[in-house]
Amino acid sequence: MANVALRQVKKAYPNGFEAIKGVDVEIGDGRFCVLVGPSGCGKSTLLRMVAGLETVTSGEIDIGGRVVNQVEPADRDIAMVFQNYALYPHMSVYNNMAYGLRNRGMPKPEIDTRVQEAARILELSAMLERKPGQLSGGQRQRVAMGRAIVRQPKVFLFDEPLSNLDAKLRIAMRVEIRKLQRRLNTTSIYVTHDQLEAMTLADILVVMNAGQVEQVGNPLDIYQKPATTFVASFIGAPPMNLIGLRESGISLAAADAGILGVRPEDLELANGAAPAGGLTFELKVEAIEKVGAETYVYGLRSQQDGQPAISERPGELPPGEILVRIPGQGGPAIGETIKVLAPRERLHLFVAGGRKRIEL
């Protein structure tokens, strides 16, 4: 086991494109760190730099107190689980897991001990003689994890390992990966574009956008206090509503211009007077989604005072549209005009550019 430190890590390609723009992250021994962000944000590139599959333009990657920038991947004492499993189709499950250990010249008894133990942990003992083609997607992913486990590395690296699985299996495998990591207590770095996957797995959540880190912290802290409007709209499903401060009708001593954010679950249908200092406005219901235990109501409010709509960013709702999440299967009808409100303590305020949070 080992801690991992990324210090001002940058990656630039010969054509001048800067994929990673100076990342600083500290991952403690035995912690589970998740890199999350939209496609093209640089998260997989950063993971490959830790693995040694991409060179570092500048900065340092430290694993267990050793700077590994110039160290070959095989000598970094890491094990990687890929999106496509990368299993040898002509080999049995046993031989797939044992192959790397044999290449290292490990004695046969020790190889057998490690493979059998990994198979027991992953419930693969009855499948050791099967070929990958005889396994389901979830079983193949477990074999890929088993191949990493037998290495007993200092650090596990996961590159979107569940993206090829169906939704139900992804949930089951997500739980299994977290249980396994806690059992082995091995430092892990996991890449995903799925914010729900990131929230449920991470001890340390790193939200990335356009090659840089937007926010690092505990998943719940990031959800409750997003540092930027990008984080606010990316973390949380459905995304946070973002409204121009001048459009909201609220006067705040902290700012005369900016962006107000409110999560759909923090809005409620108004049955009386609005809370003091809170947010209240009318919406025309445009669409309704009933998803069982709750209902999503999409409403449209007109732009006021000629203020421009907030520019769209990945994950944000269209300008002027507000999403309200209400419990149960009831609610208004399409075409109806409703009043919604949110108490002041549930509001989030950001500077006009959305790059910084202001505490209310």
Query: How far is residue 34's CA from residue 157's CA, in Å, rounded to a whole number?
Result: 10
Give the span between the Cα atoms of 26 and 216, in whole angstroms: 10
Same domain, 92 and 210: yes
Say yes or no: 205 and 236 in one domain: no
Tell me, yes or no, whether 289 and 194 share the same domain.
no
Looking at the structure, do residues 169 and 52 belong to the same domain, yes or no? yes
**Full residue range of the structural domain in which residue 119 is found:** 4-228
Whether residues 205 and 246 fall in one domain: no
Residues in contact with 163: Cβ distance below 8 Å, sequence separation at least 6, in sequence order = 83, 192, 193, 194
Mean per-residue pLDDT, 202-217:
97
Q: Please, how many CA atoms are within 13 Å of residue 225, restricted to the half-sphere of its CB? A: 8
Pairwise CA distance, residues 75 & 111, whole Å: 19
What is the predicted pLDDT for the residue at 313?
A: 45
| The token pair that represents 148 in the structure block | 């990493």
Does one domain contain both 165 and 52? yes
Written in H, E and C, the secondary structure of the chain is: CCCEEEEEEEEECCCCCEEEEEEEEEECCCCEEEEECCCCCCHHHHHHHHHCCCCCCEEEEEECCEECCCCCHHHCCEEEECCCCCCCCCCCHHHHHHHHHHHCCCCHHHHHHHHHHHHHHCCCHHHCCCCHHHCCHHHHHHHHHHHHHCCCCCEEEEECCCCCCCHHHHHHHHHHHHHHHHHHCCEEEEEECCHHHHHHHCCEEEEEECCEEEEEECHHHHHHCCCCHHHHHHCCCCCCEEEEHHHHCCCECCECCCEEEECHHHCEECCCCCCCCCEEEEEEEEEEEECCCEEEEEEECCCCCCCCCCCCCCCCCCCCEEEEEEECCCCCCCCCEEEEEECHHHCEEECCCCCCEECC
Q: Write down the pLDDT at residue 275.
A: 60
- Over residues 197-216, the mean pLDDT reads 96
pLDDT band, very low/low/confident/very high, at 320 (cuts 50, 70, 90): confident
User: Across-strand partners of 186?
Assistant: none
CATH number at residue 152: 3.40.50.300
Residue 27 phi/psi, 5° resolution? -120, 115
Please give the Cα distance from 225 to 216 (Å, whole number).
Answer: 11
Sign of CA dihedral 88, 52, 202, 243: negative
Total number of domains in the chain? 2
Average pLDDT of span 236-254? 78
Whether residues 149 and 79 fall in one domain: yes
Distance of CA 79 to the CA centre of its chain: 21
| Last residue in a domain, options 197, 228, 259 | 228
CA distance 216 to 224: 13
**In 3D, which of 61, 69, 62, 56 has the Cα closest to residue 12?**
56
Residues 6+ apart with CB under 8 A from 231: 207, 214, 215, 222
The structure tokens listed for 27 are 């991952």
Please give the pLDDT value at position 318. Answer: 57
- The pLDDT of residue 254 is 61
Residues 233 and 242 sit within 8 Å (Cβ to Cβ): yes
Co-location of 117 and 172 in the same domain? yes
Rounded (10°) angle between helices 93-103 and 137-149: 20
Same domain, 195 and 47: yes
In this predicted model, what pLDDT tens digit does every residue of 251-286 receive, in sequence order?
666 666 789 999 999 998 887 665 666 788 889 999
CATH number at residue 296: 2.40.50.140
Q: What is the pLDDT of residue 302?
A: 60
**What pLDDT score does 216 carry?**
98
Q: What residues contact residue 162 under an 8 Å CB cut-off, 6+ apart? A: 141, 169, 170, 173, 174, 177, 192, 197
pTM exceeds cut of 0.85: yes
pLDDT of residue 55: 95
Q: Report the length, in residues, of the chain.
A: 360
Instruction: Indicate if 189 and 216 belong to the same structural domain.
Output: yes
pLDDT in tens, 127-142: 999 999 999 888 998 9
Q: Among the three residues 194, 209, 228, which one is the final residue of a domain in this structure? A: 228
Q: Are residues 213 and 329 in the same domain?
A: no
Question: 5-51, pLDDT tens digit by residue?
Answer: 999 999 999 999 999 999 999 999 999 999 999 999 999 999 999 99
Is pLDDT at 307 greater than 70 in this prediction? no
Cα(51)–Cα(71) distance, integer angstroms = 10
Does one domain contain both 277 and 197? Answer: no
The pLDDT score that the predictor gives to residue 281 is: 81
Domain boundary residue, one of 189, 208, 228: 228
